[in-house]
Structure 1
Amino acid sequence: MRNLNTNPINIAIDKNYDSDFCGSIPLNLVNLIQPHGLLLVLDKAELQIVQASENLKELFSLPVDDFLEQPLSAYLPASQFSDIQEKIIRQNSQDKIPFSLTFTANAKTVFFTALVHPKDEYILVELEENAPATSDNSFIGLYQQIKYITSLLKQADSTVAAAHITVNEIKRITNFDKVMVYQFDPQWNGIVIAQAKEDDMDDYMGLRFPASDVPKQARDLYFRNPYRLIPTRSYQPVGLIPVINPLTMRFTDLSDCNLRSVATVHLEYLRNMQIMASMSLPIIFDDKLWGLISCHHKTPLNLSYELRSSLELLSGIVSAQLAAKEKENAMTLRVQLQEIYANLLEQIYNQPSFTEGLLTGETNLLALLNLAGVAVVYDGATIVLGQTPNEQEIKELIYWLRRHELNKLYVTNALPAEYARSQEYKEIASGLLAIAINPEQGEYILGFRPEVLQTIEWGGNPNQAIQMEPDGKSYHPRNSFATYQETVKQTSLPWAFEEIEVAHALRSAVLEKIIKENY
C-alpha cells in the first residue's frame, strides 16, 4: 500500500469530545467587556449614546449617566464626527470600520483607536487608547514585516513547512512566549502541527486537544472576529450601563466585539496552563475554520492596535497559503489516481470481462485505491486478490450491505464499529470500500484496508476535559495537560476524498462495461 493520508490529523477517533453542554453556553450575551478598552452603544438615527461601559467614569471622572442620551458629536471634533456619519451611511456590510478619534469630556482629551460595528438596531463603538506608533509598529515597519513573511510562506513546500514559518515569524514580531498552529481534525479536536516557544514553556508539539477546548459557539465566533485577545486573565470584567439595551430591551449582542469579556471557565483554563495572556487568530478557507494560530504569554501582554491589525492581515495570508498547499496536495493525488485509473480503464475494455481488467495486468485495483485486498463478487463467483476475509465472511458482509441498502458506494475506515462480525478479521479489513454493481443480486466490488494501530498523544486526559460541579450547571476545565496516550484500534488508514471520487468514476465505467458485455 502506498503511504498516503498518514498525517495524524486523519486518525479516526471513535469518541465525540465536542461537548453539547459547552457548545450551548452563550458567549455573546455576557454584557461585560475586558477593561483595556471602552464600549459605547449608539442609536442609528442620531448617533446618541444609549449604553456605555462603566470604565468611562474612571477615564473621564464623570458618572456614566452623564454620557447617556448625549450625541457622540458632543465629544468629537466636527470633522471626525462627519467622517463617522458618512462612512456608516455608505457602509452596506457588517465589516468593522476603524477610526482614530479625539475624544474630549470633562476638559480631558484622550486619543483613541476606534472600531465601529454597524448593527441592524444599533451601532457599537469600541475604543482603546492609542499609543504613539514606534519604529516597530509603524505602518511601513509592519508592512515590511508582512511582505517578508509572505515571501517566506510562498517558498514553503508543504502545509507543515508553512505552519512552522508562521509560528516562528509571529513569535519574532510579537514576542509571545509561545506560538502554535493548531489544526482541527474532522471531529473538531485540534492538533498542534507547528510550535515556536521559549525553553521554559510546556511543549505541546504533536499533542491533540479535545473539541470541548474550543466548543462550537466559540468556533463560530471566529467567523465574526479577526482575533481574540486576552491581555491578562486576571482582569476585572466591566459591565454596561444600563444593563439592558434600551433599543432592544435585551442584553447587547457582543459577538463582534474584540473587547467582549471571556468566559470564566476559559480564564480558569489559561490559569491551569500557567498562561497570563493569550491571542488567537483563525485560519479559514473554503468557508471553514481549518485551525487557529494560538499565542501564549507567561505575563500580561497587550499588543498595539497596529500590530494586531498586522496579525489580522497575516492570518488571512497564512490561510490563503495553507489553502494553496492543501489544494496542491489534493491535485497531486488526483493526478496520480487519474493516471492509474486511465491504465485500469484501458485494461477493463481490452479484457473479455471487467473482473479480469480490474485484477490482472500491469495495473490493478489494489494500486488505484490503496488496498491490501479486493474481492469481486459477480455472476455467481467470488474472485479475490491480496489479503481478504474468507468466502463465507464475504457472503455475510454482502448480506449486511444489502440489508442496510448500501446501494452505490459505502466507505468506512472503522468497519468493526459498524459491523460487529468484522472484528474477527479486523487485521485485514478494518477499512472497507464497497462498490455496488447489482446489489439486489449481491454483486459488489469490495476493497479492504488492514487495521493500523495508531497512538494519539493528548494534552491531558480528554475524558476529564470537563469536570462538572454537583449542581450539574457549572463546570471546570481539566487542571493537568500532561501527555495522555491513547491507542486507536480497529481502524484503517482513512479514505481520501480523491480516492472516493475515482471510485465513483470506476463504478460508472464497470456498469457501462457490463452493459456492453451483455448487449
Structure 2
Amino acid sequence: MPAISSPPPLNLTSCDQEPIRIPGSIQPHGFLLALRQDAPDVIVQASDNLAALTGVALEQALGQGLPVVLGVAAAQLQAELAANVIGAQPSYMGTLRTPNGRHFDVLAHTHDQLLLLEFEAVARVAPPDFRHLYPKVGNFLLKINDLQDIVEMSDLAAQQLRDVTGFGRVMVYQFDRDGHGLVLAESRAPGYSSYLGQRFPASDIPRQARELYRLNRIRLIQDAHYAPARLVPPINPATGAPNDLTYAALRSVSPIHLQYMRNMGTLASMSVSLMVKGQLWGLISCHNETPLPVAFEQRAVCEQLGQILGLCIETRTDAAELQFRLEVRRTMVSLLAGLSQQADFADSLRGVFPQLLRFARASGAAIVADNRVLRHGDTPDEGEIHELVQWLAESGQQDVFHTDQLKSLHAPAARYTRNASGLLAISISRIHPHYLLWFRPEVVHTIDWAGQPQAKDGPGQLTPRLSFDTWRETIHGTSAPWHDGEIELATEFRSALLGIVLERAEQMAELAEELGRANKELEAFSYSVSHDLRAPLRHIVGFSDLLLETAGTEDQEKRRRFLKNIKDSARLAGKLVDDLLSFSQMGRAALHPTRVDMAELVRGCIQKLGLDIRDRRIEWDIGKLPIVRADPTFVQLALYNLLANAVKFTGGREVATIAVSATEDENETVFHIADNGAGFNMDYVHKLFGVFQRLHRMEDFPGTGIGLANVRRIVERHGGRVWAQSTLGEGATFSFSLPKNIAIE
C-alpha cells in the first residue's frame, strides 16, 4: 500500500491559480471510494475518513473489493452500477446500509479513468421519497408561467428553494458584463441581514470557480468549520496526476472560501447555477447561520428549479430581445426610406437626424465627411469631433466602434464626458475617414456593494473579505451601455449605407459616362454644323450667285446645272437636319414593346431599299429569324440603317452579298448583318457608333454620320448592346443583341 502523504501546499497569491478542481480532499460528511474503470472490482483510492464513517480501516480497503467496506450491500450497489450508464455527472445509485449500521446515499460518476463512488451519510434508513418534493416543482411551473418579469420569477424561485431546503437566506443574483453579481431577489428568515439590490464583486467568484459552476450545476457546503478528508493515495492511480474532482458532490472547497463564509456569518451554503444559452447567467445562493445538511433528493429538486428558472429567463430575455430588435429595425427601415436622393450623401443623412437619434437612443449625432462636420443634438464641439475621428482612424478601430467609457480609452474625451461618455461610431467609407457618430451623455450612478471590494486582509496574499457591510460607490464618466442588438443593427445599417453610397457612386459614374458621351456628341454636332451643314449651304449660296450672274444669258443648260446643284445641296442639308431630329427623338420617345416578327421586318426594310438598289446585283441571304419582344418602329429603324449601310458600302462590288442571321441563348437574341463591302480599320472601331463619325471619305461614301449612332441608341434603350467586326477591304459584320426579358426605361 502506498504511503500516506500530505497534499502539496497551496499557492494563494492569485485567485486564478488556486487549484480548486484538485483539492486532494473531500468534505467529511461522506466518504469516497475510487475504482479503475477498466477494473471496477478493486478499490484503488479512498478518503482518509473511511474508518470514522464505516469502521473499516483505510489499509484494509485499498486493493480490495467493495464487499470489504460495504458487506452484503456491495451486491446491491454492483447491480445498480451494471444496470445504469454511468457518466460524468453524478447519478443516484440508491441508499445503502454499511456493516456498522449507518446509512448512505450513493452517487456514482466516471472521470479521469476512475469510477468515483461518493457515500453521503443520511439519517433516514430508506431511499428518498420524491413524492413529497415533485409537487413543489409542478407548483413552481404553474406559477412561473404566469410571470413575465425576471425579478418576479427570481423572487418566486428564492421562496421555493428556501421552502425546499430550510436555508435562512436564499438570493438570486445575476452577473453583469464585468462579472459582478447583482442581487435581484431574496427570501430570508427573521434575523438575517438583507443583500437585496446590492452587488458582490467579481473577485468573490474567480474565473476558475465560474467554470466549475458552469460544469457542475449545484454545490453544497454543509459546515464551513469542516476539516477536509484527504484522498489516499493523493495521486490518481490511473493518470499519475492529482484527482480532478470537478463533478464530485463531496469535493472540498477552497479554504479561502470557507473563511469568506465564516466572515459572512454563514456556516452552510448551497449554490445552484443559472444557465442561459449555455452561459453562466447567475446563481441561486443559499446561506444558513448554522450547519445544515441537504439530502440528495432536496438538491435534485433545487437543481430542477434552477433549470426551470434558467429556461424561463432565456425565454423572457429572447422575447424582450426580439421586441427590442424589431423596434430598432423599424426605425432603421424608416431611416433608410427617409434618405433623400441628394447628390451629397452627408446632406442626405442630415435630413434624417431625428431618426438617427431615435435609432441609437442617443442624445447627439454627428456626420464627418472630408472636412465637414454636421451635428445634431447634444454633442462635443466641431474641433473635438475632428480630433476624435482622427483618433478613430489612426488607432485602427473596427468598422463599428462602441464604448460606454470613452475617456478610459481616449483621454481627451475627459473634457466632454457630460455629453459624450458613450460613443457609437461607424465608418461610412472604405477609403476616407468618413464617420457617423452617436453620443450618449454621462449617467452618474451609485452602486451598493456587499462590503468594500478592496477590503482584503493582507497585501499580496489571497485572502477573504472581512466586511460585508454596505459600501456605496459613485460612478462617473460612463453612459448607458450599448445594447448588443444596437451594435448588430448598427453593423447592418453601415452595410446598407455603404450600399447606398456605392449605388450613388455608380450612378455618378454612369452620369459622368453619359455626360462624356454627350459632350463628344455635342463636339461632333458643333463640328457637323460648322462643316457638314455649312458645305451644302455654301453650295447653295455659291450656285445662287452663279445663277444670278447668268441671268442675262441664254445658256439654259448651265442654269439647269446650277439649279440642280442648289437642289442637291438643299436636300443634303435637309437630310442632315432630319437625321439630327431623329437622333434626338431616340433619346426622348417612350418605347412600346410588343411581339415583333424580325423576318417580316427585314423583308420590309429590303423592299424600302429598292430605290437605292435599282439595278445593282445584290444576293440576300436571310436566315431563320425569331420573334422578339421590342418596339417595332425603333427596331425597324435600326435594321434599316444597318441594311442601308451594307448596301452603301458594297457599292463597289460587282455582286454584293448581304447576310442576315440570328443566334440566341436563354438570356438574349443576337442579330448579325454581314456584307462583303469596303469594311473598315478595326483600330477605329471605337468611333464607329458615335455621332457624325465617319471612317471613310464623304466623297467615297456619302452620308450624315448619324445612322449608326441611332442604331446604338435604339439597341441600348432596349437593354441590348451593339458591336462590329471587319477586315478592311473584305467586308464587315454588324451585330446587336436584344434581351429576352427586356427592361424598358
Q: TM-score scaled by structure 2? A: 0.63
Name which of 59, 64, 71 aligns with 1:65.
Answer: 59
Alignment of 1:468-487 (within 5 A): 468=458, 472=460, 474-487=461-474
1: CA distance, partners of 2:118 / 2:467: 36
CA deviation map 1:228-275 (0-9, x unaligned): 111111122212223333333333222211111121111111111111
Per the alignment, residue 315 of structure 2 pairs with 324
1: CA distance, partners of 2:390 / 2:219: 52
The percent identity for this pair of structures is: 35
- Asked whether the equivalents of residues 179 and 195 of structure 1 are also in contact (C-alpha less than 8 Å), the reply is yes
- 1:99 to 2:102 alignment: no
TM-aligned CA deviation for residue 46 of structure 1: 2.8
1: CA distance, partners of 2:483 / 2:155: 25
CA deviation map 1:461-498 (0-9, x unaligned): 1122x3336xx5x4321211111111111111110001
Instruction: State the secondary structure of the residue aligned to 2:281.
Output: strand
Instruction: State the secondary structure of the residue aligned to 1:180.
Output: strand
Structure whose alpha-carbon radius of gyration is higher:
2
Amino acid at match of 2:458: M
Q: Which stretch of the first structure deviates more once superposed, 333-342 or 347-356?
A: 347-356
2: CA distance, partners of 1:407 / 1:68: 61
- 1:219 to 2:210 alignment: yes
TM-aligned CA deviation for residue 428 of structure 1: 0.8
- Asked whether the equivalents of residues 37 and 127 of structure 1 are also in contact (C-alpha less than 8 Å), the reply is yes
Name which of 451, 457, 470 aligns with 1:467.
Answer: 457
- 1:145 to 2:136 alignment: yes
- Asked whether the equivalents of residues 89 and 247 of structure 2 are also in contact (C-alpha less than 8 Å), the reply is no
Alignment of 1:132-281 (within 5 A): 132=124, 138-281=129-272
- Asked whether the equivalents of residues 131 and 304 of structure 1 are also in contact (C-alpha less than 8 Å), the reply is no
Alignment of 1:20-31 (within 5 A): 21-31=14-24
2: CA distance, partners of 1:200 / 1:73: 48
TM-aligned CA deviation for residue 199 of structure 1: 3.1
Amino acid at match of 1:171: R
TM-aligned CA deviation for residue 67 of structure 1: 1.1
Per the alignment, residue 52 of structure 1 pairs with 46
Name which of 362, 370, 384 aligns with 1:371.
Answer: 362
TM-aligned CA deviation for residue 133 of structure 1: 8.4
- Asked whether the equivalents of residues 220 and 269 of structure 2 are also in contact (C-alpha less than 8 Å), the reply is yes
CA deviation map 1:38-97 (0-9, x unaligned): 11111223321111112221233231111111122553353541331343xx44x42322
1: CA distance, partners of 2:257 / 2:249: 16
Per the alignment, residue 4 of structure 1 pairs with none
- Asked whether the equivalents of residues 388 and 448 of structure 1 are also in contact (C-alpha less than 8 Å), the reply is yes
1: CA distance, partners of 2:481 / 2:66: 58
Instruction: State the secondary structure of the residue aligned to 1:243.
Output: coil
Instruction: State the secondary structure of the residue aligned to 2:457.
Output: strand
- 1:83 to 2:80 alignment: yes
1: CA distance, partners of 2:78 / 2:363: 70
Per the alignment, residue 406 of structure 1 pairs with 397
Instruction: State the secondary structure of the residue aligned to 1:155.
Output: coil
Amino acid at match of 1:33: I
Per the alignment, residue 120 of structure 1 pairs with 112
Name which of 31, 38, 41 aligns with 1:38.
Answer: 31
- 1:339 to 2:330 alignment: yes
Per the alignment, residue 518 of structure 2 pairs with none
- Asked whether the equivalents of residues 343 and 363 of structure 1 are also in contact (C-alpha less than 8 Å), the reply is no
Alignment of 1:309-320 (within 5 A): 309-320=300-311
- 1:397 to 2:388 alignment: yes
- Asked whether the equivalents of residues 409 and 434 of structure 1 are also in contact (C-alpha less than 8 Å), the reply is yes
2: CA distance, partners of 1:491 / 1:249: 51
- Give the direction of change, closer, same or farther, for the CA distance of 1:176–1:490 in structure 2 (3 Å limit): same
2: CA distance, partners of 1:200 / 1:149: 26
Amino acid at match of 2:35: L
Gaps of 5+ in 1: 1-18
- Asked whether the equivalents of residues 340 and 348 of structure 2 are also in contact (C-alpha less than 8 Å), the reply is yes
- Asked whether the equivalents of residues 451 and 489 of structure 1 are also in contact (C-alpha less than 8 Å), the reply is yes
Gaps of 5+ in 2: 1-11, 507-745
Instruction: State the secondary structure of the residue aligned to 1:509.
Output: helix
TM-aligned CA deviation for residue 34 of structure 1: 1.0
2: CA distance, partners of 1:353 / 1:362: 15
Per the alignment, residue 438 of structure 1 pairs with 429
- Give the direction of change, closer, same or farther, for the CA distance of 1:518–1:241 in structure 2 (3 Å limit): closer
TM-aligned CA deviation for residue 129 of structure 1: 2.8
- Give the direction of change, closer, same or farther, for the CA distance of 1:51–1:134 in structure 2 (3 Å limit): closer
TM-aligned CA deviation for residue 158 of structure 1: 1.6
Instruction: State the secondary structure of the residue aligned to 2:138.
Output: helix
Q: Name the Cα RMSD after superposition.
A: 2.2
Instruction: State the secondary structure of the residue aligned to 1:223.
Output: helix
2: CA distance, partners of 1:133 / 1:69: 29
Per the alignment, residue 121 of structure 2 pairs with 129
Q: TM-score scaled by structure 1? A: 0.89
Instruction: State the secondary structure of the residue aligned to 2:14.
Output: helix
- Asked whether the equivalents of residues 182 and 291 of structure 1 are also in contact (C-alpha less than 8 Å), the reply is yes
Amino acid at match of 2:91: I
1: CA distance, partners of 2:324 / 2:392: 29
TM-aligned CA deviation for residue 357 of structure 1: 4.8
TM-aligned CA deviation for residue 401 of structure 1: 0.8
TM-aligned CA deviation for residue 27 of structure 1: 0.8
- Give the direction of change, closer, same or farther, for the CA distance of 1:377–1:475 in structure 2 (3 Å limit): closer
- Asked whether the equivalents of residues 191 and 209 of structure 1 are also in contact (C-alpha less than 8 Å), the reply is yes
2: CA distance, partners of 1:177 / 1:262: 21
Instruction: State the secondary structure of the residue aligned to 1:477.
Output: coil
1: CA distance, partners of 2:321 / 2:63: 57
Per the alignment, residue 497 of structure 1 pairs with 484
TM-aligned CA deviation for residue 226 of structure 1: 2.5
TM-aligned CA deviation for residue 417 of structure 1: 1.0
TM-aligned CA deviation for residue 120 of structure 1: 3.5
- Give the direction of change, closer, same or farther, for the CA distance of 1:247–1:481 in structure 2 (3 Å limit): same
CA deviation map 1:328-355 (0-9, x unaligned): 2211111111111111111125666544
TM-aligned CA deviation for residue 439 of structure 1: 5.9
- Asked whether the equivalents of residues 399 and 427 of structure 2 are also in contact (C-alpha less than 8 Å), the reply is yes
Question: How many residues matched?
Answer: 491
Instruction: State the secondary structure of the residue aligned to 1:438.
Output: coil
2: CA distance, partners of 1:352 / 1:220: 55
Instruction: State the secondary structure of the residue aligned to 1:212.
Output: helix
- 1:299 to 2:290 alignment: yes
TM-aligned CA deviation for residue 379 of structure 1: 4.9
2: CA distance, partners of 1:152 / 1:133: 34
- Asked whether the equivalents of residues 353 and 517 of structure 1 are also in contact (C-alpha less than 8 Å), the reply is no
CA deviation map 1:105-147 (0-9, x unaligned): 4xx3443221111123211111113443899x73122110011
1: CA distance, partners of 2:232 / 2:318: 49
Amino acid at match of 1:52: A
Larger RCO (alpha carbons 8 Å, 6+ apart): 1
Q: Which stretch of the first structure deviates more once superposed, 359-368 or 397-406?
A: 359-368
Per the alignment, residue 740 of structure 2 pairs with none
Amino acid at match of 1:485: R
1: CA distance, partners of 2:312 / 2:126: 29
CA deviation map 1:183-234 (0-9, x unaligned): 1111111111111112311111111111111111111111232311111111
